[in-house]
Amino acid sequence: MEDQRNEDRNQPQSSQNSSENRENKSEPVNKSNYKKSYYNRRRRFSGRNVDSSNQAPTRISFKKISIVVPVLNEEDSIFPLINEIRKVLKPMELWYEVILIDDGSTDKSLSLIKDLSRTDKRIKFISFRKNYGKSAALQMGFKEAAGEAVITMDSDLQDDPNEIPNLLKKMEEGYDVVSGWKKIRQDPFIKKISSKFFNFVTRIFSGIKIHDFNCGLKAYRKSVTESLNVHGELHRYMPVLAHWQGYSIAEIPVKHHPRRYGKTKFGISRFFKGFIDLITVVFTTRYIKRPMHLFGFLGALSFLAGLVVNGYLTYLWFDNQPLSNRPMLFLGILLIIVGVQFFSVGLLGELMVHNLKDEKEYIIKDKS
Ligand SMILES: Nc1nc2c(ncn2[C@@H]2O[C@H](COP(=O)(O)OP(=O)(O)O)[C@@H](O)[C@H]2O)c(=O)[nH]1
Ligand SMILES: [Mg+2]
């Protein structure tokens, strides 16, 4: 797998694609290049009903790909989605499978999926007895996926299967994860604005300079999906989790369609859950190996602030001023106690980290 990856990195590009690849060689988040490649792509894939069978087949080096699709009550979208995927992948002449994960749907989604799977062996499905959430569904899909590359996409027709070859082409440049960017997002205003805020905060916390963390359309090398472990609402942070495990990430703009059937599964609660999960992500990736860096820093800050406050009051006391009417004294005491507590939590964390050395935490890139 790694050899394959290195091969991809070193492999000279075919002359047919060389100009486009030159364009894409730059950093993944270079705006002007994005613009260029985005509009080129738009020209190529203008319109959702493009008949891909008439297009020249896109040559990619991946021979086996898995498409993982989480499904929750999308009965009207499943057939058109599978048809579109077939149309796009047919000219590419590669082995593929589509893994649909039904997550306790209460409509006809499951029976439609079963029908599809009966007539086409490439369509596979997993059905959960109850709803476990999108992250659990993706995780299960990753476990089942047999492809060298794994694509994830939503099942509500908002993600365009015509972008699959583009994601794979970008990944061939050597990236481990290629994330879609719903640059022109077809969603209600409130969702667009809150998503902008969410992406901004995640960008600051994670240090990853991509625009759209929560795009359903993404491509991963198999090694990445094997090492990711998502649950709760962590699917929003796939690029963050992958980045902190040392994988490289690129982003390409992708076409986004308005929801045609059914309704969104994520209400306002998404923001609260999302931010709680951001804290989980920050802790379990950035600080899990060094809790003292966070708690020690906070503790020292609080302790010092308390010391300054009480030092000042002590000076006043020596100056014969009574402290009985100074509420600031309590603030100082509180800051010192909180500081000591933070410090103790950090120390306990360090003790636990050193005693629970888990080799699974270290992802090996290569070995002789
Ligand atoms: N398996 C599974 N899929 C889900 C769940 N919630 C949403 N989805 C799927 O995830 C995709 C995105 O959901 P959607 O409601 O369209 O989110 P939005 O586009 O952000 O409004 C759709 O294909 C849904 O069917 C869930 O709990 N389990
Ligand atoms: Mg959607």
**pLDDT tens digits, residue range 17-34?**
333 343 343 344 444 444
Q: Tell me, what DSSP letter sits at residue 159? A: B
Which of 100, 360, 368, 66 shows the shortest CA–CA distance to 221? 66
Which tens digit of pLDDT belongs to each residue from 210-221?
Answer: 999 989 999 999
H-helix or E-strand spanning residue 71: strand 64-71
Residues (pLDDT < 70) of the chain are: 1-58, 268, 270, 284-285, 288-289, 356-368
> Sign of torsion, CA 124 127 131 136?
negative
Q: Determine the Cα–Cα distance for residues 362 and 64; give it in Å rounded to an integer.
A: 27
Q: Determine the Cα–Cα distance for residues 111 and 89; give it in Å rounded to an integer.
A: 24
Q: Determine the Cα–Cα distance for residues 269 and 287; give it in Å rounded to an integer.
A: 26
| Nearest atom within ligand 1 for CA of residue 265 | 15
Which of 122, 136, 54, 113 shows the shortest CA–CA distance to 88? 54
To the nearest whole number, what is the mean pLDDT of the chain?
82
Q: At residue 252, what are phi and psi to the nearest 5 degrees? A: -130, 145
Look up the pTM and report it: 0.72
Whether ligand 1 lies within 6 angstroms of the CB of 273 is answered as no
| Nearest atom within ligand 1 for CA of residue 158 | 19
Q: Determine the Cα–Cα distance for residues 303 and 43; give it in Å rounded to an integer.
A: 60
Rg, Å, the chain Cα set: 25
Residue 96, strand partner residues: 65
Whether ligand 1 lies within 6 angstroms of the CB of 128 is answered as no
SS (H, E, C) 257-288: CCCCCCCCCCCCHHHHHHHHHHHHHHHHHHHC
User: Can you tell me which residue has the tokens 């979208």?
Assistant: 77
From residue 194, give the alpha-carbon distance in Å to each of 215, 233, 306, 366: 14, 16, 37, 40
Whether ligand 1 lies within 6 angstroms of the CB of 186 is answered as no
Q: Which residues have C-beta under 5 Å from ligand 2, the single-atom ion?
A: 156, 158
pLDDT at position 45: 38
Which tens digit of pLDDT belongs to each residue from 224-279?
Answer: 999 988 877 788 889 988 998 899 999 999 999 999 998 888 776 767 777 777 77
pLDDT at position 308: 97
Contact 198, 215 (CB under 8 A): no
pLDDT at position 41: 41
Q: Which two tokens stand for residue 241?
A: 């989790």
Give the other-Cβ count within 10 Å of 81's Cβ. 23
Q: What is the dihedral of CA 79, 82, 88, 92, to 10 degrees?
A: -150
Q: Determine the Cα–Cα distance for residues 158 and 23; give it in Å rounded to an integer.
A: 27
Question: Separation of 110 CA from ligand 2 center, angstroms?
Answer: 18
Whether ligand 1 lies within 6 angstroms of the CB of 137 is answered as yes
| In the chain, alpha helices (H) | 2-10, 18-24, 31-44, 78-89, 109-119, 134-144, 164-172, 189-206, 222-227, 238-244, 269-281, 291-318, 328-355
Q: Determine the Cα–Cα distance for residues 96 and 66; give it in Å rounded to an integer.
A: 6
pLDDT at position 282: 73
pLDDT at position 81: 97
Question: Separation of 265 CA from ligand 1 center, angstroms?
Answer: 5
Q: Which amino acid is at 243?
A: H
